[in-house]
Amino acid sequence: MNAANPVINEPLNRSESAAHTHNHNHTDHSHDHVDSVHPHVHSEESLKRIINRLSRIEGHVRGIKAMVQQNTPCPDVLLQIAAVRGALDKVARIVLDEHLTECIGRAAQEGNIDLEITQLKAALDRFLP
């Protein structure tokens, strides 16, 4: 874990192949969630990019845990925590971008945009401070 380069940034290009898609339903374990009216479809490339970022974040968090166990100075630990926050924010941005371009767009074409917008607003209310 290098403080100068704590998180590897990948380009956010959108070269997605229509031939490689993955269907999954987004689920929320809160009590007030209503299932989406359509399956969410994302490219394998997109899912792989998100999973890879989350795996790096997971490893970074384990590194921070080790730093704490080794009594690393607090400012160094805080710097790494800030890097993880930034990385999580970037993943959230990717997920939101995917949702807006793919899922909301599809819902608009299918005529059920109101439910998708309501669900997005509810998710953003929980996500944003």
Residue 11 DSSP SS3: coil
This prediction's pTM: 0.65
pLDDT at 60: 98
**Tens digit of pLDDT per residue, the chain (129 long)?**
444 434 433 333 333 333 334 444 444 434 444 455 556 677 889 899 999 999 999 999 999 999 999 999 999 999 999 999 999 999 999 999 888 888 888 888 888 889 888 988 998 999 888
108 in any annotated domain? yes
Tell me how far the alpha carbon of residue 110 is from its chain's centroid: 25
pLDDT at residue 92, as a whole number: 94
Asked whether residue 17 is domain-assigned, the answer is no
Q: How many domains does the chain have?
A: 1
Name the residue range of residue 103's domain. 44-127
Q: Concatenated DSSP letters for 31-56?
A: TT----SS-EEEEHHHHHHHHHHHHH
- The answer to whether residue 81 is domain-embedded is yes
User: Is the residue at 34 inside a domain?
Assistant: no
Residue 35: the pLDDT is 52
In a domain, 28, yes or no: no
Nearest alpha carbon to residue 15 among 43, 50, 57? 43
CATH number of the CATH domain containing 75? 1.20.58.1000
